[in-house]
Amino acid sequence: RKEVEQDPGPFNVPEGATVAFNCTYSNSASQSFFWYRQDCRKEPKLLMSVYSSGNEDGRFTAQLNRASQYISLLIRDSKLSDSATYLCVVNALDRIIFGSGTRLSIRP
């Protein structure tokens, strides 16, 4: 089993739709969690941190479920510019593990 697993997608949704991704992790000692966004042939960029209480940043909401060992990302009112690959990142103290990413494509 991979340490961090994501559905590779692609998710193909219409503009304005709500879309959600999950990411599961295997190390119960993991301490912190993040979502990164990567555009084609560009470097990954931090989208948001994920806290136990859940957090929201505009149209983006991230949740952490420690009991089930998964994190989620919800995007509301999706825009064309949201098309990218979304990477789940898990920090288990001395190791930072990236998921393989979920590809999202927003169509007009």
Partner 1 sequence: NAGVMQNPRHLVRRRGQEARLRCSPMKGHSHVYWYRQLPEEGLKFMVYLQKENIIDESGMPKERFSAEFPKEGPSILRIQQVVRGDSAAYFCASSHRTGEHEKLFFGSGTQLSVL
Contact 71, 32 (CB under 8 A): no
* Residue among 76 and 98 whose Cβ is closer to partner 1: 98
Q: Give every CB contact of residue 55 below 8 A, 6+ residues apart in sequence.
A: 48, 49, 61, 62
Shortest Å, Cβ 66 to partner 1:
14
Tokens read off for 26: 């295997």
Nearer to partner 1, 43 or 67 (CB): 43
Tell me, what amino acid is at 9? Answer: G
CB of 51 to partner 1, least distance (A): 9
**Contacts to partner 1 from residues 53-72, by CB under 8 A:** none
Smallest distance from partner 1 to CB 18, Å: 25
Q: Which amino acid is at 3?
A: E
Distance CA 32, CA 104 (A): 24
In the region spanning residues 26 to 55, those forming contacts with partner 1, defined by CB under 8 A, are: 31-32, 34, 41-46, 49
Secondary structure class of 66 (helix, strand, coil): coil
Residues engaged in binding partner 1 (CB under 8 A): 31-32, 34, 41-46, 49, 87, 89, 91, 93-101
